[in-house]
Amino acid sequence: MIIKMVLTDIEYLMNYLEEHQVPKIKKKRHTYLTYHGLSEHYTYILKDGIIKNSIILKDGREFNLSYIAKPDVISLLRDEVSRSTDQPFNVRIESDYATFYQVKRVTFWDYVNRNPKLQNYVKNYYRKKLSENIFRLQRMVMNGKKGAICGFLYSLIDLFGRKIENGWLIDFIVTNDDIAGFCGISSRSSVNRTLKDLRNDGVITIKNHKFIIQDINYLMDQIAN
Amino acid sequence: MIIKMVLTDIEYLMNYLEEHQVPKIKKKRHTYLTYHGLSEHYTYILKDGIIKNSIILKDGREFNLSYIAKPDVISLLRDEVSRSTDQPFNVRIESDYATFYQVKRVTFWDYVNRNPKLQNYVKNYYRKKLSENIFRLQRMVMNGKKGAICGFLYSLIDLFGRKIENGWLIDFIVTNDDIAGFCGISSRSSVNRTLKDLRNDGVITIKNHKFIIQDINYLMDQIAN
DNA sequence: AAAAAAAGTTAACATATGTATACTTTAAAT
DNA sequence: ATTTAAAGTATACATATGTTAACTTTTTTT
C-alpha cells in the first residue's frame, strides 16, 4: 500500500527541522523568548503554543504586532548577512507552554540556501506577511478606533474562534490593555467604552473573560475595505 | 584597463532587463499604469519617473500606499503561481513622464528562478518592504492624525527633499487630499487645520505649493517610536 | 478668454477619543 | 488565607478629528 502525503510548506519545514535534529526549547507562560533590540543569533520556529509579538516604544507604550497560534517561523526579518542582529520584536509566550525549534541564524540560512523547497517557503513567507501587513495597514489607517477594534475582534475568530450555538467563542483571553496595544488606543478605559457599546448593540458578549461574537456582520460593516 | 563595477541589486536587475531587451513603455502624468483589481499578466519595473500606488476602498475613498521615485519593481505581491492575477494596487504616474520595463509575469519569474542573484534581489526586496511596512504600521497605529502627518512630511524629505538655506525643500507637489489619503484623514479641510498649526509653529512653510521643512526635530518629536 | 473643476482656507458645530479618577472585580504573589 | 497587583467598569471633562459649508485661489478644460 502506498500512502501519498502532500505536505504543506510549513509541515515540510517542521519535518526538515526534526530530521536534522534541531534542538527544541520549551518556555512557560508569560516568559519572553526574545526581547526587542537585544542581540540574538538564533532563529526560532514555533512548534506549538501561542505567542504574541510586540514592540516597546521609547515612551514605554507597547505596540502589539500579532498573535501566532500555530507553527510558524517567528521572525525572518534578519537574514544571514544582516548587519544588525537585533531582535526586531518582543516574543512573549501566551499559552501555558510553547515549544520552539532553535537554530543558529547562519545555520538556518544554510539550510534554506541548500534547499529549493525551503527557498520557496521563505519567498512565500515574505510575500504572505507583506500582503497581510499591507492589508492591516489599510485597515488601521482608514478606520477610526472603533473600526480598529471591530477589525481586531474579527481577526480573533480566525485565530481562536470556535463555533458555538449563539455565535463564535474566542477561546483565548484577551485583555482590554492587549486590545489597546493592537489598536493604538490610549487606555483600557477607552477600549472598555467601545466594548460596552458593542455589548449594548448585541454584537458581543463576554463569558468567563472570553468574547463571544454574536454578530459578525456588524463587525464587518464597521471595517472599511 | 579593467574597470571593476560593483552594481547595487537594483542596478543589476536593470542591467539584466536591458540585456534581455525587455520592452519599455512610457506613460504620461496622471495616467494609470494599472488599476487595483483588474487582471494583469505583466510585471512592471519603474525605470524613471515618480509613481503613487493606492487602493480605492469600496466606499470610494482612496488609501495611498506609497510614492516610488527611483527605479524599483512596482509590485511583486503576485508570483508565477499565484492563482489571483488581480493587480493589488492602482499605479498612477505623478511625474510628467514615467518609463517602465514591461515583462510577462511568468517570464519575470523565469528570470528570477534561473538566476541566484535575482533570487537574492527578490528575497531582499520582500524583506525590506516587509520591514518598512511594519515600521509604518507601528507609526500609524501608535500616533494620532497629527503624528501621522508629521511622519508623512518627514518621509517626504527622503523621497523629494533638497537642502536649501532655511531647511529642506520638498521638491514635489503634494496636495492636502494626497496627505489625507496617506494618513487616513477624512477631508482636505482637516489636513489643512493641522498644516496651519505647523505653519504657525514655524515647522513648515509653503512656497509655490511646495513644502519647506524648517524644523525637522519638531516633526520627529511628534512621531512615537 | 471663459468656464469648469480642483484645490486651499477658514469657521462652526458634532462626534470620537484621550485623560484622569474612583471604584469594583479578578488574578497573582506571598 | 491574606495581601497585592492587575484588570474591568463607569463618569466627567478635555482635546482631536470629523463634517459641512462657504468662499477664495489655482489649474485644467473648453
Give residue-wise pLDDT tens across range A24-78: 999 999 999 998 888 888 999 999 999 999 999 999 899 999 999 999 999 778 7
Answer whether residue B2 shows pLDDT above 70.
no
Phi/psi class of residue A181: alpha, beta or left (left: φ > 0; alpha: ψ in -120 to 50)? alpha
Give the number of residues written for chain A.
Answer: 225
Residue B152: pLDDT band with limits 50, 70, 90:
very high
List all nucleotides in chain D with at least one atom under 7 A from a protein Cβ.
Answer: 7-12, 16-22, 26-27
Beta-carbon neighbour count of residue B99 at 10 Å? 15
The pLDDT > 70 percentage for chain A reads 96
Instruction: Return d(Cα B195, Cα B207) in angstroms, integer.
Output: 14
Answer whether residue A83 shows pLDDT above 90.
no
Facing residue for A224 by CB, picked from B57, B77, B133 = B57
Residue B53: pLDDT band with limits 50, 70, 90:
very high
- Across residues A75-91, what is the average pLDDT? 78
> Which of B116-120, B131-135, B178-182 has the highest mean predicted lDDT (pLDDT)?
B178-182
**pTM of this structure:** 0.93
At B191 the three-state DSSP class reads helix
Confirm or reject contact between A141 and chain B (CB < 8 A). yes
- Across residues B5-14, what is the average pLDDT? 85
- Across residues B202-207, what is the average pLDDT? 96
Nucleotide nearest to B30 (CA to C1'): D28
Q: Are B99 and B25 in contact (CB under 8 A)?
A: yes
- Across residues A202-219, what is the average pLDDT? 96
Q: Are A10 and A71 in contact (CB under 8 A)?
A: yes
Take residue A4 and report the three cell numbers written for it: 501519498
First CA to last CA across chain A, in angstroms?
50
Q: Which residues are CB-contacts of B29 (< 8 A; sequence separation ≥ 6)?
A: B93, B94, B95, B96, B97
Greater pLDDT, A111 or B2 = A111
Q: Which chain B residue has the Cα nearest residue A140?
A: B141
Contacting B residues, span 144-183, partner chain A, CB-CB under 8 Å: 148, 182-183
Model pLDDT, residue A3: 63
Confirm or reject contact between B187 and chain A (CB < 8 A). no
Bridge partners of A169, per DSSP, are: A162, A212
Take residue B25 and report the three cell numbers written for it: 513603455
Angle subtended by helix axes B188-200 and B176-183, to nearest 10:
100
Q: Are A53 and A62 in contact (CB under 8 A)?
A: no
Residue B225: pLDDT band with limits 50, 70, 90:
confident
**Closest by Cα among B119, B33, B23 to B79:** B119
- If you search the block for the grid coordinates 521563505, which residue do you land on? A122
As a rounded value in angstroms, the CA-to-C1' distance for A136 and D18 is 22
Facing residue for B63 by CB, picked from A88, A141, A182 = A141
One-letter amino acid at B101 equals Y
The pLDDT > 90 percentage for chain B reads 78
Answer whether residue A168 shows pLDDT above 90.
yes
- Across residues A138-161, what is the average pLDDT? 96
Answer whether residue A1 shows pLDDT above 70.
no
Residue B83: pLDDT band with limits 50, 70, 90:
low
Model pLDDT, residue A208: 92
- Across residues B78-87, what is the average pLDDT? 73
Confirm or reject contact between B123 and chain A (CB < 8 A). yes
The reply to whether the CB atom of residue A144 sits less than 7 A from any atom in nucleic acid chain C is yes
Using a CB-CB cut-off of 8 Å, the residues of chain B touching A141 are 63, 140, 148, 182-184
Shortest Cα–Cα distance, A183 to chain B (Å): 6
- Across residues B12-29, what is the average pLDDT? 95
Q: Which residues are CB-contacts of A191 (< 8 A; sequence separation ≥ 6)?
A: A149, A176, A177, A179, A180, A183, A185
- Across residues B27-39, what is the average pLDDT? 88
As a rounded value in angstroms, the CA-to-C1' distance for B144 and D30 is 43
Answer whether residue B5 shows pLDDT above 90.
no
Instruction: Return d(Cα A188, Cα A168) in angstroms, integer.
Output: 23
Shortest Cα–Cα distance, B180 to chain A (Å): 10
Model pLDDT, residue A78: 74
Alpha helical stretches, state H, chain B: 9-19, 105-114, 116-142, 145-160, 176-183, 188-200, 216-222
Greatest distance between any 2 Cα atoms in chain A: 62
CB contact under 8 A, A184 and B141: yes
Three-state secondary structure string covering B45-73: EEEECCEEEEEECCCCCEEEEEEECCCEE
Model pLDDT, residue B63: 96
Facing residue for A58 by CB, picked from B65, B148, B225 = B225
